[in-house]
Amino acid sequence: MPKIYLDYAAATPVDPKILRAMLPYFKKECGNPSSIHYFGQRALEAVDQARANAAKFLNCDPGEIIFTGSATEANNLAIFGLVKTGDHIITTQIEHPAVLEPCRALERRGVKVTYLPVDSDGLLHVDEIEKAIKADTVLVSVIYANNEIGAIQPIVEIGELIRDKNQKSKNKTYFHTDAVQALNYLDCDVKKLGVDMFSLSGHKIYGPKGVGALYLRKGTELNPIIYGGNQEHGMRSGTENVAGIVGLGKAFEEMQSPKLRIQNIKIRQLRDKLIKIILKSIPDCRLNGSLTQRLPNNVNISFRGVEGEAMVIALDQKGIALSTGSACSVRNLQPSHVLLSLGLSAQEAHGSLRISLGKYTTQQEIEKFLRVLPGVVERLRKISGYK
């Protein structure tokens, strides 16, 4: 039975062009970038080219790119590297665990953290930050686009607010965004966004797993959290994952193709079809998150009377792969903190599906999914006794 993959928010397939670019660095191009001989310099050249590709896409200086092992590491570096005991952080209730958990760890060390609410569409209101910001606020961290519900936050407006605050205050507030889900679909010009730090990951943009990066604006006072051989401008010690970095650099090159806009229009059309038909054909379900301020590849729907995990398993048995929410918290049986923040009950949050599309998703796959889903929901509702 052909398999259908609808979990692009968890991980994307590696683009064949990206894989081809990486392959030489697993064997033939074997040098360590810190070595001064021929092989080492070849590896360093490849890393530098990837850094240049990332910088071109983000509209920054190559020296402002720090390669990491993941976006989780980039988030941890941005938070732990900046914040010290006694400081104040502002973040939101719908952040990825890679931001929330560092904030909670810092709270246990005496850092003050404000977790701002969102509205029923999953959107943060900028005036909430304006009210929360204090003289000792050293960091504001707001996710660009949420990984579960696809809600797009007003990053430009937040950046302007923080810039205006900094012009009036001697105490600097830095602005960080976890932009993992945004890269394929949104404007990621860091100058336009007004961010000081910007986290990203390879496996959400058709690149490899195990590599990420942090954009770090020049002048941002950050300390490393990994010490050793002084790689990555002293901010991330450890021999570079050359093949992974090459793949990430190639992914940035591919995202500058004019084809991307056409791909995203197709993805948005498929998303809109999914939302319209599911809400029309299946009773007692609701769309989670904003309909307008939403990633073009994201659909998150709650179904009354059905457990999300049961739907995922039943659909997987029919050859369709998707998820209930964040892949990073799939082993956590608690209801989604994101959906609870929208005002859903624990039962409603447990009955959600996240359907995420990508550039390889076809019209035929969506049509098959739409044929299969109503029967799965109806059968599981009968089993649960829902009427």
* Predicted local confidence at residue 1, as pLDDT: 74
- How far is the CA of 259 from the CAs of 114, 165, 232, 265, 296, in angstroms? 41, 39, 32, 10, 16
pLDDT digits (tens, 9 = 90+) for 125-138: 999 999 999 999 99
pTM of the model: 0.95
pLDDT digits (tens, 9 = 90+) for 326-363: 555 555 668 999 999 999 999 999 999 999 999 999 99
* Predicted local confidence at residue 326, as pLDDT: 52
Provide the pLDDT confidence category of residue 54 given band limits of 50, 70 and 90: very high
* Predicted local confidence at residue 328, as pLDDT: 52
Helix axes 363-384, 308-317, angle to 10 degrees: 130
Q: What is the mean pLDDT of residues 212-226?
A: 96
| Residue 285 backbone dihedrals phi, psi, to 5 degrees | -135, 160
pLDDT digits (tens, 9 = 90+) for 138-188: 999 999 999 999 999 999 999 999 999 999 998 999 999 999 999 999 999
Q: What does the mean pLDDT of the chain come to?
A: 95
- How far is the CA of 209 from the CAs of 101, 215, 286, 302, 362, in angstroms? 21, 18, 33, 29, 24
pLDDT > 70 in the chain, percent = 98
Q: What is the mean pLDDT of residues 265-280?
A: 98
pLDDT digits (tens, 9 = 90+) for 232-261: 999 999 999 999 999 999 999 999 998 889
Which candidate, 79, 46, 218, places its Cα nearest to that of 54? Answer: 46
pLDDT exceeds 70 at position 218: yes
Distance CA 25, CA 20 (A): 10
Positions marked catalytic: 328
| Residue 122 backbone dihedrals phi, psi, to 5 degrees | 85, 20
* Predicted local confidence at residue 285, as pLDDT: 96
Contacts of 176 (CB under 8 A, 6+ apart): 75, 78, 79, 139, 140, 141, 142, 195, 196, 197, 198, 199
> What domains can you pick out in the chain, each with its CATH number?
4-12+259-384 (3.90.1150.10), 16-254 (3.40.640.10)
Q: Terminal CA-to-CA distance of the chain, rounded, Å?
A: 32
pLDDT digits (tens, 9 = 90+) for 285-294: 999 999 999 9
pLDDT digits (tens, 9 = 90+) for 76-130: 999 999 999 999 999 999 999 999 999 999 999 999 999 999 999 999 999 999 9
